[in-house]
Amino acid sequence: MENYYKHLQLEYFRKNKYRVWIALAALTILMIATFFTSINLGRAYIGPRDIAYVILGRLFAREDILSLLDETTSAIIWDIRLPRILCAFFVGGGLAVSGTIFQSVLMNPMADSYTMGVSTGAAFGASIAIYLNIMAMGFAIPITAAAFLGAVLTLCIVMTLSKVRGYLSPVNLILSGIIVSSILSAGVTLIKNAAGENVGAIVGWMMGSLSSSSWSEVFLVLPVTALGTLIPTYFANSLNLLSLGDEEARFLGVDPEKSRRIFLTAASMITAACVSVSGIIGFVGLIVPHMLRLVLGADNRKLIPFSMLLGGELLLVADTVARVLLRMEIPVGVITTMLGGPFFLFIFIRKNRRRYV
Amino acid sequence: MYKISNVNFFIGKRLILKDLSFSIRQGEIFTIIGPNGSGKTTLLKLLTGFYKPSSGEILLDGIDIRMMTPKALSQKLSVISQNVNIQFPFTCFEVVMMGRNPKLANNQKPSKRDMDVVIWAMEKTNTLQYWDRLITELSGGEKQRIMLARTLAQETPYILLDEAFSDMDMHYVIKSMKLLRELVEQKGVTVVNIVHDLNLVYHFSDSVLLLNGGKIERLGHRVEVMKKENIEKTFKIRVESIKGRGMLILP
């Protein structure tokens, strides 16, 4: 019997480690391949050697390496494709991480940043900014900042509304999220209506695209996403317990109020940064955690960092397809939703078959 | 030891529990019975510290339960509440290992001893063969055995159960009850238990609290409380008392 236990312990850890390492290796190889392919693809041909030269030259400020290339190629790589690729990666990763966190905190595998109204808040902020800019007030309001502000304000409103006697419940969060989200959607429609002929600018922004990504967008989304992934990963064990509900979390030694605040803030900040950079990109936040749970299980210590990697990878692929597939660019939000929707249905059906009713 | 003094509990304007005062001794099985809506679950949630009493106080080993942090409480008492619904595909092993959380610092790796305790708990509840299965794919009774294993793994001096065996078959109900008795006798654990099956209450309790309409109807030794007239009056049923053997419920 003693031997059986030893065997079991070893088996358990070996199996889990295997899966984690295989998944990590596969994702890393895939990421490197996608990264180079994505820089390579596009209207102008760019070889792998050019890419290496530009990156090395810029990172170490070596003029002698840079001078090996002509300036147009250098500019296409450094000023256009590289920031867009980084944006795609971090926006995708960020949306996936926030989806994983929202699902666990709200105890609902169907939740994502839309459930809490945070994304709609960002869209509302952006719409107002675009509208005011069209009306030409003499100065331009930065759309990104407005979207960010909209998202953060919405989070504050939703969290205040869900409080009953100082107590925050997942059901309340979902309900008030949906209510606030509907009100804000109506607001967006109103602004679109008021914009008249210029409605295209708002619609275009909301469709979800990474085509306007530059280094300033990278510098917004990268630090927020990185911090928003690292901090929750560090506390991921409490998130596991929180995903069983307030009572269970408490009985197992976690203060549900305190830890929920950490996770909701992190996930909402990520969402705000992502939406403000790229507009509305659906389904990444919903699907990635589900895909990962099939392979790695429900442990958030693994799920959160892997969400970052897989989400980033998926959006990078989708954005590259959006960029090069047709002669004109397709909004990447359309691609993620059109591919993600059916895939999600597949997971949904599969899961229902395996469950006791 | 639990000391409950003058506890009232309101939800909105409705008084759920009225002026309760009693104590629970160390090392006994204390069973709470009563009709639906009599306040059993509310009382248990007050004892776990999840609800705060509207007035009065609850002392756990002399400390006001409101003053204790979740971490400190989770080292004192383990709880199985009604209808626990886990949404995410944790393995059974992971769920039982969560019972060790109160003893571990954030991100601390489980030691050899933690592993041994988890395996012991799963063996005691006959769930070790499920260790790799997902909690979302188990049946109700199997899930409850996993929850019991998690409670054992928590190694607390108090165990609070709210109809924790309701979905198990009779074999496992009796096995689990005997297991609790064993813990009480060998480790001096205190068990507070909500049970509906009057026969089980008779056989596996020391003290019984009969609750009705948020008030104490009867409290005392099981034989004193589980009398024909008390049960018939409170539950509005007919029973036949079999001397030393429990109770037969007549339709």
Domain residue spans of chain B: 2-250
- What is the chain A residue with the closest CA to B143? A356
Residue B180 CA, distance from chain mean position:
10
Domain housing A175: 2-354
In DSSP terms, which residues pair with B80 in a beta bridge?
A: B161
Query: How many residues in total does chain B contain?
Result: 251
Alpha helices in chain A (DSSP H): 2-40, 48-59, 63-66, 71-75, 82-105, 118-134, 143-161, 170-195, 199-206, 215-234, 236-242, 246-251, 256-278, 284-296, 300-324, 332-354
pLDDT in tens, A82-118: 999 999 999 999 999 999 999 999 888 888 888 888 8
The answer to whether A82 touches A110, Cβ cutoff 8 Å, is no
Q: What is the mean pLDDT of residues A263-288?
A: 88
**Residue A12 confidence (pLDDT):** 65
Q: What is the mean pLDDT of residues B38-47?
A: 94
Q: Give the SS3 label for residue B77.
A: strand
Q: What is the mean pLDDT of residues A128-146?
A: 79
Q: Which two tokens stand for residue A302?
A: 């693994």
CB contacts under 8 A, B 103-132 vs A, are 106-107, 115-116, 119, 128, 131-132
Q: Which residues contact B220 (CB under 8 A, 6 or more apart)?
A: B207, B208
The pTM assigned to this predicted structure is 0.89
Instruction: Say what the alpha-carbon torsion angle A334, A338, A341, A347 is, to the nearest 10 degrees.
Output: -130
Model confidence at A51: pLDDT above 70? yes
Q: What is the ipTM of this complex?
A: 0.91
**Residue A6 confidence (pLDDT):** 59
CB contact under 8 A, B85 and A245: yes
* Rg of chain A (C-alpha set): 22
**Residue A195 confidence (pLDDT):** 83
**Residue A348 confidence (pLDDT):** 74
**Residue A354 confidence (pLDDT):** 60
- What is the chain B residue with the closest CA to A15? B132
User: What's the burial of B199, exposed, middle or buried (CB within 10 Å: 0-12/13-18/19+)?
Assistant: middle
Q: Give the SS3 label for residue B148.
A: helix
> Looking at the partner chain, which of A234, A250, A356 has a beta carbon nearest the beta carbon of B70?
A250
User: What's the burial of A265, exposed, middle or buried (CB within 10 Å: 0-12/13-18/19+)?
Assistant: middle
Exposure string over B133-166, b if 16+ CB within 10 A, otherwise e = bbbbebeebbbbbbbbbbbbbbbbbbbbbbbbbb
Q: Give the SS3 label for residue B79.
A: strand
Cα distances (Å, whole numbers) of residue A76 to A40, A69, A317 = 11, 11, 19
Q: What is the mean pLDDT of residues B42-53?
A: 93
Residue to mutate among A171, A252, A295, with most B CBs inside 10 A, is A252
**% residues pLDDT > 70 (chain A):** 91
> Looking at the partner chain, which of A237, A243, A297 has a beta carbon nearest the beta carbon of B107?
A237
**Residue B160 confidence (pLDDT):** 97
Is A295 touching B (CB cutoff 8 A)? Answer: no
**C-alpha–C-alpha distance, residues A347 and A110, integer Å:** 12
Is A244 touching B (CB cutoff 8 A)? Answer: yes
pLDDT in tens, B110-134: 888 998 899 999 999 999 988 889 9
Domain with residue A238: its CATH number is: 1.10.3470.10
Cα distances (Å, whole numbers) of residue B196 to A218, B32, B40, B211, B221 = 61, 9, 11, 12, 17
At B172, which helix (H) or strand (E)? helix B170-187
**C-alpha–C-alpha distance, residues B196 and B31, integer Å:** 10
Model confidence at B135: pLDDT above 90? yes
Q: What is the mean pLDDT of residues A346-355?
A: 71
Total of domains in chain A: 1
Question: pLDDT grade, residue A137 (50/70/90)?
Answer: low
pLDDT in tens, A294-345: 888 899 999 999 999 999 999 999 999 888 887 778 888 888 888 888 887 8
pLDDT in tens, B171-230: 999 999 999 999 999 999 999 999 999 999 999 999 999 999 999 999 999 999 998 999
**Residue A47 confidence (pLDDT):** 78
**C-alpha–C-alpha distance, residues B165 and A261, integer Å:** 34
**C-alpha–C-alpha distance, residues A11 and A18, integer Å:** 10
Level-2 CATH architecture, domain B2-250: 3-Layer(aba) Sandwich (3.40)
The answer to whether B3 touches B12, Cβ cutoff 8 Å, is no
Q: A94 to chain B, minimum CA–CA distance in Å?
A: 21
**Residue A138 confidence (pLDDT):** 65
Provide the terminal-to-terminal Cα distance of chain B, rounded to the nearest Å: 39
Model confidence at A78: pLDDT above 70? yes
**C-alpha–C-alpha distance, residues A303 and A236, integer Å:** 9
Residue A145 CB coordination number (10 Å): 14
pLDDT in tens, B4-35: 999 999 988 899 999 999 999 999 999 999 99
Residue from A303, A259, A83, A268 nearest A158 by CA? A268
The answer to whether A289 touches A98, Cβ cutoff 8 Å, is no
Q: Which two tokens stand for residue B80?
A: 């199985």
Residue to mutate among A6, A17, A251, with most B CBs inside 10 A, is A251
**C-alpha–C-alpha distance, residues A355 and A344, integer Å:** 17
Q: What is the mean pLDDT of residues A57-76?
A: 80
Residue from A16, A263, A126 nearest B131 by CA? A16
Model confidence at A2: pLDDT above 90? no
The answer to whether B191 touches B13, Cβ cutoff 8 Å, is no
- What is the chain A residue with the closest CA to B76? A251
Q: What is the mean pLDDT of residues A273-297?
A: 88
Is B83 touching A (CB cutoff 8 A)? Answer: no
Q: Which two tokens stand for residue B70?
A: 């979740």
Model confidence at A203: pLDDT above 50? yes
The answer to whether A254 touches A247, Cβ cutoff 8 Å, is no
pLDDT in tens, B48-92: 998 899 999 999 999 999 999 999 999 999 999 987 889 899 999
Is A12 touching B (CB cutoff 8 A)? Answer: yes
**Residue A357 confidence (pLDDT):** 44
The answer to whether B220 touches B196, Cβ cutoff 8 Å, is no
